[in-house]
Structure 1
Amino acid sequence: MPPQTATTKRLLKESTELLTPSPTSLADIHATPINDNLYDWHFTIAGPPSPSVYSEGIYHGRIVLPPTYPLRPPSFRFLTPSGRFEVNREICLSISGHHEDTWQPAWGIRTALVAIRSFMDAEAAGQLGGVEASEGVRREFAQLSREWRCEVCDCGSNEEIMKEWKEKCREAGLGDGPAAEEGDDDERKDGRKEGDGESTKATNTTSEQPQAREQPHINSRPTTATSPELSTSRSDIPIQSRPSTNTMTSVQPPRTTVAPAQSSDGPWLDRAIVGVLVALVFMILRRIVNTDEVV
């Protein structure tokens, strides 16, 4: 027997969980490998609850898992006509092989099937593998789907497969009671968050747009409130500057009073200079007179 790989161990674990009724089992979802091939599964799911147009339907499909699962996502296709997905064509979802970037290895086959079940009520809108049809056509397909039989499984009609699986759940004490419904609701919520990633991103972007538009109004209010404060603070500056000019001019008069005191010494110097000059002139004249007498 060849050694088990990480992918094989993971698929064996999921197969045991999906085929053995447990508190985590969902009575509306059944999946099993085909002919002991862990990479090729068939699933049977009940339609979304009322008022969905698929509420009366039971649908059968195929899951193909890659050798690197769960690192890469599986691919899904519906084999039962539903009016929502093309028959035997791979569908494009955020949890399928068409969107490997949004797939998370923590997700499993059950989580993916819950997401597909909740995604059935969304419109195709050009989706790969999607089909546009009226509500009447989809309700008619839902009624016919209960008697649909898979030639590969050869396990009876969709209704018989689902009835047998629900009987096992009842024998295990699960039944269709509140516990099973609550678990179904929890898984459905997880499926919508995980599987319907594209639609939630679109709603988030649309909800963020009004907030982005309101931000300029919110930011504009503080600016208008602070502008009066700035204007009043600026108007106070020239009022304070006036006393400063007065103090400057009041200091100048003492300087002008000191100037006459310094200029009062000027006449004494002038008189001394004049006296020296007069003395020199007198001495020169006296000498000239003396020289004339000698001659």
Structure 2
Amino acid sequence: MAEKACVKRLQKEYRALCKEPVPQIVARPLPSDILEWHYVLEGSEDTPFAGGCYYGKIKFPPEYPYKPPSISMITPSGRFAPHKKICLSMSDFHPESWNPIWSVSSILTGLLSFMMDDSSQTTGSVKSTDSEKRCLAKASLAYNCESKNCPNFKKLFPEFVEKYEQPHALGQSVLEQSNYKDLPSGPPAARIEPAKRTEQEVEKNIAVNHAENRRQSRNLPFWLLLLLASVFGVVMALPLLQL
């Protein structure tokens, strides 16, 4: 259980971070345990870590600020081994060099500076090529949001989750619009209705034409009826003339 002085100190530091955020650094305690802080470091420009979001933990002892915390990084970075404690002068590897005036912001600022300087190695660090670091930087945000190794990331850092989801939502929207352009315009009912109307109009025209033909065939001109009657009369009179 944390000592009263420890709780007060960490609460004060959290308020200070909220009031004056440190560039490239975001840090927040677990709501259920003020001794466990989670952080995100953003890679510096002009380094292989540019664009990366590196998620990790700081665990403070109940005697903080009189004893140093342990520091680890969860996101694969090519600089530190995931989940391994990192040896720094301000970590629990070196309690003899710890200074009680150091704070969360100074600890993480030192960690960020040490991370960007790839020439220094320590316990918990790893070696990798710049190309590997760049690949890991590009994949870091997706790892933090999707990996089972980061169960608290989405809860503590919703702004980074939103940053991750925006390109996916935009890509999905573009895909849907592209697919929709290949379809006839208008809602489904509007697309089907004209076809039905056209079919009905054709059938109606056929029926009208058929009825008109029948009407014309029934209503013969009067002069044609007289001509037919005359021809019929001549034909009937021929046998009588032969007698």
Question: Which of 110, 113, 125 is 1:115 aligned to?
Answer: 110
CA RMSD after TM alignment: 2.6
Equivalent runs, 1:193-212 vs 2, <5 Å: none
CA contact (8 A) 1:89 1:129 kept: yes
Aligned to 2:80: 85
Instruction: Provide the secondary structure at the position in 1 that maps to 2:112.
Output: helix
Aligned to 1:183: none
Amino acid in the other structure paired with 1:37: D
Aligned to 1:73: 68
Equivalent runs, 1:224-239 vs 2, <5 Å: none
Instruction: Provide the secondary structure at the position in 1 that maps to 2:15.
Output: helix
Equivalent runs, 1:1-295 vs 2, <5 Å: 5-18=4-17, 20=18, 22=19, 24-48=20-44, 50-123=45-118, 126-148=121-143, 149=145, 150-155=150-155, 160=160
Q: Following the alignment from structure 1 to structure 2, what is the Cα–Cα distance between the partners of residues 67 and 160?
A: 30
Q: Following the alignment from structure 2 to structure 1, what is the Cα–Cα distance between the partners of residues 97 and 76?
A: 28
Instruction: Provide the secondary structure at the position in 1 that maps to 2:13.
Output: helix
Query: Relative to 1, partners in 2 of residues 1:78 and 1:94: Cα closer, same or farther, differing over 3 Å?
Result: same
Instruction: Provide the secondary structure at the position in 1 that maps to 2:80.
Output: coil
CA contact (8 A) 2:69 2:91 kept: yes
Q: How many residues align?
A: 159
In our comparison, the structure showing a higher alpha carbon Rg is 1
Amino acid in the other structure paired with 2:134: R
Instruction: Provide the secondary structure at the position in 2 that maps to 1:119.
Output: helix
Q: Following the alignment from structure 2 to structure 1, what is the Cα–Cα distance between the partners of residues 83 and 119?
A: 16
Shift of 1:146: 2.0
Q: Following the alignment from structure 2 to structure 1, what is the Cα–Cα distance between the partners of residues 140 and 158?
A: 7
Q: Following the alignment from structure 1 to structure 2, what is the Cα–Cα distance between the partners of residues 102 and 17?
A: 25
Normalised to the residue count of structure 1, the TM-score between the two structures is 0.49
CA contact (8 A) 1:58 1:159 kept: no
Q: Following the alignment from structure 1 to structure 2, what is the Cα–Cα distance between the partners of residues 113 and 3?
A: 21
The 4+ residue runs of structure 1 with deviation greater than 6 A are 156-159
Q: Following the alignment from structure 2 to structure 1, what is the Cα–Cα distance between the partners of residues 12 and 121?
A: 36
